[in-house]
Amino acid sequence: MFDGLKDKLSGFREDVEESTEAEEESAPDDESAAESDATDASADNVGDEDDVAAVETDADETADGDSSSSDDEPSTFQRAKAFATGRIIIEEEDLEEPLWNLEMALLESDVEMSVAEQILDSVRESMLGESRKQVETTGELVESALHDALLDVIAVGQFDFEQRIAEADKPVTIVFTGVNGVGKTTSIAKLSEWLADRGYSSVLANGDTYRAGANEQIQEHADRLGRDLISHDQGGDPAAVIYDGVEYAEANDIDVVLGDTAGRLHTSDDLMAQLEKIDRVVDPDMTLFVDEAVAGQDAVNRAKEFNDAAAIDGAILTKADADSSGGAAISVAYVTGKPILFLGTGQGYDDITRFDPEDLVESLLDGE
């Protein structure tokens, strides 16, 4: 999951390490007193010899840049001192190229432009502090800057889904929307199982009265899981089906109503009007937008458009098992202001995971 993105993020770390190594190379030339300690200090950060050779030209440029340094920039003495104590000073120019590469990497991974910019701004800010920052190791600094920057965008709007279910008046009605074939019906079946594992009963209501075969498909899930299904004939009114689902749950003491809907484009006026009617008639407790992680930037755009057309409360990203880019997982919450609540990670009923921003960030950064 998200392997392509993991590689790209570790590329940023290497980039910064390289450009600060170049920095270290230049420091002893400026201050011979620092030279002996410097060799030890650089040991942690210097990689193989090719790397060092490759950055030496950069080092010259960096040193040249410093000759015109303003008062804000570290003096030669400060640099040498920092260097001698095994510390590194990260300057704006060290980050320029790595940040550019990071931006390209994020965009290539389908991270939305505004989200990539936000990540860059926050990485830049935490790595430079006011004008510069002294740190123990560059790797640690990169790690913590990326960690915080990613978490800030990924965790937007998070709430405790289970707690919300626990505290809400029953039945809790959840309606699922999204375009065709992204995994709405499968996610309903998975969520029904997820809820059952936590002690909540649920009934399925098939508001997809549009597509031929939809009743049979969801009936199969209901049978396998031993859940009740409320459905009407094809062509019926989706709001009426979900309404019946709510009445059934009230009468039978069922905790949660899971209302399916037909796949639709946000541009389809008829189908969007159906959603509005469901909203009016049923007044669901939550509307969850479902899309597939593999759709990348398209999924991000759709999340935004659905949220604009019919406010969503959260999202489920399916097919994360097949997604290498991770762009949708990183961008959807920031772009909509609504959290990703679950990831679909396969075709089995158990293949659903509560989306945990902290876990995701850690797995993105641990490079495994």
Ligand X SMILES: Nc1nc2c(ncn2[C@@H]2O[C@H](COP(=O)(O)OP(=O)(O)OP(=O)(O)O)[C@@H](O)[C@H]2O)c(=O)[nH]1
Stretch that binds Mg ion, among 105-113, 176-184, 229-237, 323-331 (CB under 5 A): 176-184
Contact assessment for residue 121 and residue 153, using Cβ atoms and an 8 Å cutoff: no
Using CB under 6 A, which residues numbered 14 to 73 contact ligand X?
none
Tell me the closest approach of the beta carbon of residue 178 to ligand X, in angstroms. Answer: 6
Stretch that binds Mg ion, among 181-189, 235-243, 302-310, 360-368 (CB under 5 A): 181-189
Amino acid at 281: V
When computed from its CA atoms, the radius of gyration of the chain, rounded to whole angstroms, is 26
Partner interacting with residue 318 (select from ligand X, Mg ion, none; CB below 5-8 Å by kind): ligand X
Partner interacting with residue 86 (select from ligand X, Mg ion, none; CB below 5-8 Å by kind): none
| Residues contributing to the annotated binding site for GTP | 178-185, 260-264, 318-321
Alpha-carbon span 181 to 306, nearest angstrom: 16
CA angle 97, 88, 360 (to 5 degrees): 60
Alpha-carbon span 268 to 289, nearest angstrom: 16
Nearer to ligand X, 210 or 248 (CB): 210
Contact assessment for residue 166 and residue 269, using Cβ atoms and an 8 Å cutoff: no
Helix, strand, coil percentages, rounded to 5, for the chain: 60, 10, 30
Nearer to ligand X, 62 or 325 (CB): 325
Stretch that binds ligand X, among 11-19, 163-171, 183-191, 279-287 (CB under 6 A): 183-191
State yes or no: cis peptide before 171, omega within 30 of 0: yes
Alpha-carbon span 252 to 240, nearest angstrom: 18
Size of the chain, expressed as the number of residues it contains: 368
Binding test (CB under 6 A) with ligand X, winner from 109, 186, 215, 325: 186
Stretch that binds Mg ion, among 33-41, 101-109, 179-187, 277-285 (CB under 5 A): 179-187
Partner interacting with residue 180 (select from ligand X, Mg ion, none; CB below 5-8 Å by kind): ligand X
Binding test (CB under 6 A) with ligand X, winner from 8, 184, 227, 338: 184
Exposed/middle/buried for 280, CB within 10 Å: 0-12, 13-18, 19+?
exposed
CA angle 230, 235, 237 (to 5 degrees): 60
Tell me the closest approach of the beta carbon of residue 324 to ligand X, in angstroms. Answer: 13
Question: In terms of DSSP bridges, do strands 133-135 and 88-90 run parallel, antiparallel, or are they unpaired?
Answer: antiparallel
Tell me the closest approach of the beta carbon of residue 199 to ligand X, in angstroms. Answer: 24
Tell me the closest approach of the beta carbon of residue 211 to ligand X, in angstroms. Answer: 6
Rounded to 10 degrees, the C-alpha dihedral 248/249/254/257 comes to: 120
Strand, helix or coil at 135?
strand
Contact assessment for residue 133 and residue 72, using Cβ atoms and an 8 Å cutoff: no
Per-residue interface string for the shown chain with ligand X, residues 233-272, x marking contact by CB under 6 A? ------------------------------x---------
Using CB under 6 A, which residues numbered 272 to 331 contact ligand X?
318-319, 321-322
How many chain residues are in contact with ligand X, going by CB under 6 A? 20
Tell me the closest approach of the beta carbon of residue 307 to ligand X, in angstroms. Answer: 18
How many chain residues are in contact with Mg ion, going by CB under 5 A? 2
Q: Which residues pair with 315 in a beta bridge?
A: 289, 340
Binding test (CB under 6 A) with ligand X, winner from 98, 314, 339, 344: 344
Binding of Mg ion by 187 (CB under 5 A): no
Sign of the dihedral defined by the CA atoms of residues 169, 194, 244, 310, in that order: positive
Tell me the closest approach of the beta carbon of residue 317 to Mg ion, in angstroms. Answer: 16
Query: What are the residues binding ligand X (CB under 6 A)?
Result: 178, 180-186, 208, 211, 263, 318-319, 321-322, 344-347, 351
Query: Site residues (CB under 5 A) for Mg ion?
Result: 184-185
